Structure 1
Amino acid sequence: MGKQTAPVKKNETINLTFEDLTHEGNGVGKINGYPLFVPNALPGEEGSVKVVKVNKNFGFGKLLELTKHSPERIDPVCHTQCNGCGLQHMSYKLQLEMKQNQVKNAMKKIAHLEDVPVHPIIGMDNPLHYRNKVQIPVGEKNGRLITGFYQKRSHRIIENTETCTTHNEVINDVVKKVRDIANRLGIRAYNEEVHKGVLRHIMVRTGEETKDIMVVLVTRTEKLPHQEELVQELTKAFPHIKSVVHNINAKRTNVIMGDKTKVIWGDEYIHDKIGDTTFAISAKSFYQVNPTQTKTLYDKALEYAEIDSKDTVIDAYCGIGTISLFLAQKAKKVYGVEVVPEAISDAKKNAKLNGITNAEFFVGQAEKVMPWWKAQGLDPDVIVVDPPRKGCDEELLKAMIDMQPKRIVYVSCNPSTLARDLRILEDGGFSTQELQPVDMFPQTGHVECVALIKRVKD
């Protein structure tokens, strides 16, 4: 047989009908069965497309003009090109459908679990202005400071911070104020090409319930020029600012925060509440960025855990103790483990802050600590995991299977790695009962999910 070639060529312009969406929200159209992925196109639409890349089994195109529009197409609230919110051209209803299908497809194709109920995704009443934390790069243009996100696949800053529709609105105001004050005081932006200049990033965190604000200024230099004037003017403009932090990152790196952090005004922490639980949040704490949906997610995790006062629970990847402290209010005992020492320090502080005495926190890799716990005779009734996007380490999955808990609650931010890990747990004697998707990041392709997994009876 001769070598197969794609039915289209690069730079060719074609007419295409779109049938589907990828999990990133790109439209999918086919030419003789050959799929082309095209950003900003929706199912049911037709249009002219320029072919920009051709691979053996699929290609990519750029939408030139639509000749037929979908009723689910809406005018984006934000027209900048940073691509942080790639789904703004579709109705919120379609966004939720797309994410629901993403979870179902992962369960079917990767986990081979076609019969497990995937409940309707829980969306937001208002899917805008939900983010309680942002990290904004600082640059220069025509001699003045600019702030915004990088254009997709580049390090060119798109000026958009005043209008970003996913940020809590006060964050946009604070970033603008920091930039304007720094500009007036002559503080230069960091230039990554020549590794000179001062201000690299502005990070702002807010407490949804408390209205507390933390500002973190990341610089290349040990000293922040005009520090006192900047802080004085900023805190006068925003009385809710409780903490101003200076972080030093002198390395040539894409990593935002450096190792050295010092409080230059106010407290080391701001506070926020999820339900009745209060959390102290430092500059480097991991804390979910959508507080409204975090409560929805954690309530579901707690419901699935079915904990009573006789249960012992392990919270792997416990972070600053957000889920652990929810669990501890119902459990006999909670053991949290996390690899980041600062997070464990925060978790202990948060337990104390809430008067919780039945939660213990340990620094270490869950996959190493849990077999040691088992050797010490710890038999958990429930294990809760909330891993990063790459999913659970294989050793951790083995440790969970070896511990034989009655239930595992898996909180995931990546349906593909969740599905992969569920397959391993299924093969290890557990059964996936149900899944609840939650829309934590409206306007983006990300979807969060909680899975309930039970031990198959001997």
Structure 2
Amino acid sequence: MFLTKFLTQRSLTPSYILFNISRALQYQTSTRKSTETYPKQNLKPKFDAINFEHTLKPYAEDLTLENQHEKLSNLILPLSNHSYDEQLQIKQDIIEQVFDQIGRAILWDKRVDSQVLKYVEFQQGKFCHVESIIPSPIIDHYRCKDDLSCGYGVDGQKTIGFYINPRNSKNFPNTLCIPPMHLKSMKSKHILTLKHFDQFLKQHPLSICENTNIFKKDQYWRSITLKSNEQNDLMMNVIVHPQSFSKNEIDQMKKDLLNYFIDGSGRECEINSIYFQTCAQNRCTSEENPFELIYGNEFIYEIYNEKKFRISPESLLHVNKKAAELVYTSILEHAQIDENTIVLDIGSAIGIYSILASSIAKKVYAIDPVTLCIEDGKFNAKLNGCRDNIEWICGSAEVNLHRILKKIADLHGDHSRIVAIVNLSRYSLSNRMITILRSLPSIQRILYVSSKSDGQIMHNFYELAAGERSKLKQIGAPFIPTSIYPIDSLPHTTDAETIVNCVRV
């Protein structure tokens, strides 16, 4: 059905977003010398997300005290002026266009595996079929994690918020920072904390970093991260640049924070945990520069799908708790896990997929590059009384995947049934990883979870379906995206969580 539609329609969709995806896919692949066999289609995209956001994108030169909050909302929440039904339809259109283009790109290239063509031509199953988007259970005030930067506002005062860059840095060299207190997505407790941090910065004698990517001498306060659970327990991580400060001077910065937020007017925020990190680079992991607990509880806890999980300073936390539970439920449903299934959780974070799957699966291998996330995962498994069938592995998936699959083959035989869950916010699959995944016949299903559709992710789908003439050697039977399950986890934005079910053909 898809192939018939592909052969009879008349040109590739002329949307900017789809054009970029197509270019990204074709960059590393060869295309047919003649496309006369493929008549052009005349369908126009229903919604062009890239051009839409570009028309709303603000620049620092255009900001005033009166319009700054409206401009920031246009940047962060571009669909906030649409009804929620309209937002869902726009997102549905975007996702359908993206995967229509992916399907065309897979079939268009001469490297496509013959099994893929046979599968599609004889309608052996779904191919790039997008299901109806599932709405978010909560539309406003849903964000339980916010990353914000220090900077100078339109009025020239120190503040905390999001950066808006100038259109022309030569004529207008300053990047402005806009406080996000008017955004619909932010929790009221986060807004209250930001108002107080704004006041703290204004009264503090030390200067702030004007830009997190460009560090200047004698600039100290950099950024904060706020994390909260459904019970409104709040963790605040404060990141500063140490410059040439002594230990005593750094300790004074910590005391100033506590004097304001624990003993001063900021105590009304009722913060449960305050962490402090010094970082002289763009980003520092806990291994490089540990987070120091300077007040309160070491962790906060959240309930996902009736399981309890601890959250640490570096834990990967889904920004919309209610929508996240829908994602986890959908993953388990479409993974078709039973007592004979081995699960690869690639990008396991705090272990939610692994822990939810462990009660059903034969064995679970959880891989994540962050040590603190692996420690959280191990703790959460014990906290929830999981069976002793989860193996936690810290490190690069690419380095560990071949060893894990060899171990699976040795322990369970080549005929084990393996399902891979790939969290693309943690890993983007390289060609080598795809080769490894395709090389083991036991892997029959790969579930991709992503809130973005950038070129690298789209290229993953392309290489999974490539045939024998691919640069990849001895890659095994191909995988194709059969069904896509969108869930709106980010209301008022053009993004949505997508679960892509890839099966081997």
TM > 0.5: yes
Residue 204 of structure 1 is matched in structure 2 by 226
The correspondence for 1:259, drawn from 286, 289, 293, is 289
Length-normalised TM-score, structure 2: 0.70
Verify: 1:137 aligned to 2:167, yes or no.
no
Q: Which amino acid aligns with 2:235?
A: M
The correspondence for 1:422, drawn from 449, 453, 461, is 461
The correspondence for 1:440, drawn from 489, 492, 495, is 489
Verify: 1:39 aligned to 2:47, yes or no.
no
Q: Which amino acid aligns with 1:80?
A: K
The separation in 1 between residues aligned to 2:76 and 2:284, in whole angstroms, is: 18
Verify: 1:358 aligned to 2:407, yes or no.
no
Matched pairs, number? 394
Task: Within 5 Å, give how 1:151-230 maps onto structure 2.
Answer: 151-152=164-165, 156-184=175-203, 186-192=205-211, 194-208=216-230, 210-221=231-242, 222-223=250-251, 224=253, 226-230=256-260
Residue 120 of structure 1 is matched in structure 2 by 132
Task: Within 5 Å, give how 1:23-422 maps onto structure 2.
Answer: 23-24=49-50, 26=52, 39-40=55-56, 79-81=70-72, 83-112=75-104, 115-140=127-152, 144-152=157-165, 156-184=175-203, 186-192=205-211, 194-208=216-230, 210-221=231-242, 222-223=250-251, 224=253, 226-233=256-263, 236-239=267-270, 241-251=271-281, 253=282, 259-356=289-386, 357-378=388-409, 379-388=416-425, 391-404=428-441, 405-416=443-454, 417-422=456-461
Is the 8 Å Cα contact of residues 136 and 147 (structure 1) preserved in structure 2? yes
The separation in 1 between residues aligned to 2:326 and 2:166, in whole angstroms, is: 33
Partner-residue secondary structure (3-state), 2:343: strand
Is the 8 Å Cα contact of residues 81 and 158 (structure 1) preserved in structure 2? no
CA drift at 1:204: 1.0
1:152–1:384 CA distance, 2 compared to 1 (3 A): same
The separation in 2 between residues aligned to 1:232 and 1:161, in whole angstroms, is: 23
* Identity in percent: 22
CA drift at 1:40: 4.4
CA drift at 1:287: 1.4
1:301–1:146 CA distance, 2 compared to 1 (3 A): same
Partner-residue secondary structure (3-state), 1:94: helix
| Structure 2, unpaired ranges of 5+ | 1-43, 107-119, 121-126, 168-173, 243-249, 410-415, 467-476
- The CA deviation string for residues 15-59 of structure 1, in whole angstroms up to 9 with x for no partner, is xxx9853233618xxxxxxxxxx6149xxxxxxxxxxxxxxxxxx
The correspondence for 1:22, drawn from 25, 48, 65, is 48
Is the 8 Å Cα contact of residues 143 and 185 (structure 2) preserved in structure 1? yes
The separation in 2 between residues aligned to 1:86 and 1:213, in whole angstroms, is: 27
CA drift at 1:325: 1.3
1:168–1:380 CA distance, 2 compared to 1 (3 A): farther
| Structure 1, unpaired ranges of 5+ | 1-17, 28-37, 42-61, 63-75
CA drift at 1:132: 0.7
Is the 8 Å Cα contact of residues 139 and 145 (structure 1) preserved in structure 2? yes
Higher helix share: 2
Q: Which amino acid aligns with 1:409?
A: L
CA drift at 1:454: 2.4
CA drift at 1:409: 1.6
Is the 8 Å Cα contact of residues 365 and 390 (structure 2) preserved in structure 1? yes
Is the 8 Å Cα contact of residues 69 and 180 (structure 2) preserved in structure 1? no
Residue 12 of structure 2 is matched in structure 1 by none
Is the 8 Å Cα contact of residues 120 and 437 (structure 1) preserved in structure 2? yes
Higher relative contact order (CA 8 A, sep 6+): 2
Moved more, 279-288 or 149-158: 149-158
1:94–1:360 CA distance, 2 compared to 1 (3 A): same
- The CA deviation string for residues 51-97 of structure 1, in whole angstroms up to 9 with x for no partner, is xxxxxxxxxxx9xxxxxxxxxxxxx9961336122222333333222
1:353–1:260 CA distance, 2 compared to 1 (3 A): same
Partner-residue secondary structure (3-state), 1:226: helix
Is the 8 Å Cα contact of residues 77 and 88 (structure 1) preserved in structure 2? no
1:341–1:153 CA distance, 2 compared to 1 (3 A): farther
1:153–1:306 CA distance, 2 compared to 1 (3 A): farther
Any runs of at least 4 consecutive aligned residues in structure 1 with deviations exceeding 6 A, and if so which?
254-258
1:159–1:256 CA distance, 2 compared to 1 (3 A): farther
CA drift at 1:262: 0.5
Higher strand share: 1
- The CA deviation string for residues 79-129 of structure 1, in whole angstroms up to 9 with x for no partner, is 133612222233333322222222222222223379432111112244221
Length-normalised TM-score, structure 1: 0.77
1:307–1:360 CA distance, 2 compared to 1 (3 A): same
Residue 55 of structure 1 is matched in structure 2 by none
